[in-house]
């Protein structure tokens, strides 16, 4: 089986391919990549924060006052996790005006994150990795991380917030969704809600 192309009754999935360009006309829209070219009537872009299509056709630019810088790490052995898997959002003095959150992953792991408005991080020259460790070591959390072990690299990511009014998220034959459309909740840093319980 050729795993670079998986067909189903609902969609054809191209793996290990990257959209490199898009051409929109009155007749349709052409999506092109390394070894494919597809014509369609509509494209829904779920490319995430680095969306090529939004930049090309909707003039998206990084606006630090509507963007959060975040760090994510996976830990094992964090105590006090909610048995039903509810996400914890903490607004503590070390991370204000941002947030610190913890949520349960499979096999007892925890996704531990911190986020701050990019404008604030830039103005104050904040080291997010150091700040995240300060929160973990603070009296509120140090007992919960006493036996915790870091299971991954601490990675940074941009969170485009839905705090800007009247941001265009569609044009002729093109629609943006998710991070591409900058619709992350500016209060919690969350995207699509989930009721999944591990």
Q: Is the pTM of this model over 0.85?
A: no
- Choice between 13 and 172, residue whose per-residue pLDDT is larger: 172
For tokens 């790490």, the residue is 73
Element (H, E) at 131: helix 128-137
Cα three-residue angle 75-78-84, rounded to 5 degrees: 105
Judge whether residue 194 has pLDDT over 60: no
CA distances from 46 to 39, 85, 95, 159 (A): 18, 27, 30, 14
Whole-number Å distance between alpha carbons of 179 and 177: 7
Q: What is the pLDDT of residues 37-89, one digit of tens each?
A: 889 999 888 877 767 777 787 877 778 888 888 999 999 999 998 878 788 99
The full set of domains in the chain, from first to last, is 5-63+164-181 (3.50.50.60), 67-160 (3.30.9.100)
């Amino acid at each position: 089986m050729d795993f670079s192309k998986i067909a189903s009754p609902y969609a054809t999935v191209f793996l290990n391919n990257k959209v490199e360009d898009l051409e929109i006309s009155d007749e349709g829209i052409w999506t092109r990549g390394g070894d494919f070219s597809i014509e369609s009537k509509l494209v829904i872009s779920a490319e995430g924060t680095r969306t090529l299509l939004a930049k090309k056709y909707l003039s998206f630019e990084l606006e630090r006052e509507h963007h959060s810088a975040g760090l994510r790490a996976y830990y094992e052995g964090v105590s006090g996790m909610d048995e039903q898997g509810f996400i914890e959002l903490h607004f503590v003095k070390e991370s204000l005006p941002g947030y610190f959150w913890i949520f349960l992953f499979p096999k007892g792991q925890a996704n531990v994150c911190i986020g701050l408005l990019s404008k604030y991080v830039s103005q104050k020259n904040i080291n997010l990795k150091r700040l995240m460790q300060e929160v973990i070591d603070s009296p509120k959390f140090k007992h919960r991380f006493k036996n915790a072990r870091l299971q991954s690299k601490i990675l940074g990511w941009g969170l485009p917030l839905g705090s800007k009014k009247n941001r265009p998220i569609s044009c002729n034959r093109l629609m943006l969704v998710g991070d591409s459309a900058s619709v992350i909740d500016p209060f919690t840093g969350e995207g699509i809600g989930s009721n999944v319980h591990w």
